[in-house]
Amino acid sequence: EVAAQPDRRTRKLLFFLRIAGWAIIGLILGLGQGIRENTREDLFACSLGGLLGGLLGGSIFDPIASLFAADGGSLSRAVADVVVAAAIGGSMRLLQQKVVDDSGREPTPLTDILPTNSRLLRLSSPAAAPGGHGRHTPASPRVRPPEPVRPKAIPIPRQAEQPLPREISLPQRPSPASTTATKPSLAELEARYPDREEAMARAHREGAYSLSEIGKHFGVPASTVRRAIDR
């Protein structure tokens, strides 16, 4: 029993060391894959996925190896290595899908030394892709949108123009002579209306005399004539 305890402790120590070793290997593989993708998001996702895959694969390495221990350990180790590699690769791809592809954001270039990631080439404009060393991608042909169909103009029937009469008779204005002939004189208006103020007002309204003319005839100033008119 005393001899079995150190052996058990040794197995536990080897178990944890194997897990730590596979985690380090997964982290290194993830770093390499992230640098190869040349984006910061891929570097983070692949590094974390490789670390988690290494921890998972290292923890199941011994149970899987013990299942195929009949041939001396070569087959068991090969099968366990394949399982650990699948765990590391699957974890990296899963995190890459969740962190990079499903985020909907454009990845950030890592360095200009390595080739540009294909996702950046698809998302960037054809004129200049970031990190592409001045290489231009061929511009895709632009498809011209169809022109909107304009409605045809409906002809509006024109109304038949009525011919104008050749000669249009306009009402003739009375000549100034006739107007002055019918215009009553100031003396007639004074004789017709005994009230001087009424006569002055009638002379302005009916005879269309000016204030100065009326005042001169009646011998009063123009202001008196204005008061008589406004009365």
Choose among 125, 113, 116: nearest CA to 42: 116
Largest CA distance in the chain: 163
Rounded CA gap, 100 and 21, in Å?
A: 27
Q: Is the pLDDT of residue 125 over 80?
A: no
14 with 100, same domain? yes
Q: How confident is the model at residue 3 (pLDDT cuts 50, 70, 90)?
A: very low
What is the DSSP-derived secondary structure letter of residue 69? -
pLDDT at 54 over 80: yes
Structural domain includes residue 119:
yes
pLDDT score recorded for residue 8: 77
Buried b (16+ CB within 10 A) or exposed e, 70-91: eeeeeebeeebeebbbebbbeb
- Collapse the DSSP code of 39 into the 3-class scheme (helix H, G, I; strand E, B; otherwise coil) and give the result: strand
Mean pLDDT of the chain: 75
Residues 24 and 119 in one domain: yes
Does some domain include residue 128?
A: no
CA distances from 211 to 148, 183, 225 (A): 75, 16, 6
Summarised one tens digit per residue, pLDDT across range 127-182 is 444 444 444 445 555 667 777 777 777 777 776 666 665 655 555 555 554 445 57
76 and 65 Cβ atoms separated by less than 8 Å: yes
Same domain as 113, residue 41: yes
Task: Give the angle 151-157-158 at the CA atoms, nearest 5°.
Answer: 130
Q: What's the domain count of the chain?
A: 2
Q: Is residue 176 part of a domain?
A: no
Among the listed residues 25, 156, 35, 47, the one whose alpha carbon sits nearest the alpha carbon of residue 92: 47
Give the residue, 107 or 96, on which the prediction is more confident.
96
pLDDT reported for residue 121: 64
| Residue 171 vs residue 86, higher pLDDT | 86
Q: pLDDT band at residue 52, thresholds of 50, 70 and 90? A: very high
Task: Mark which of 123, 148, 175 sits at the end of a domain.
Answer: 123
For residue 193, the enclosing domain spans: 183-230
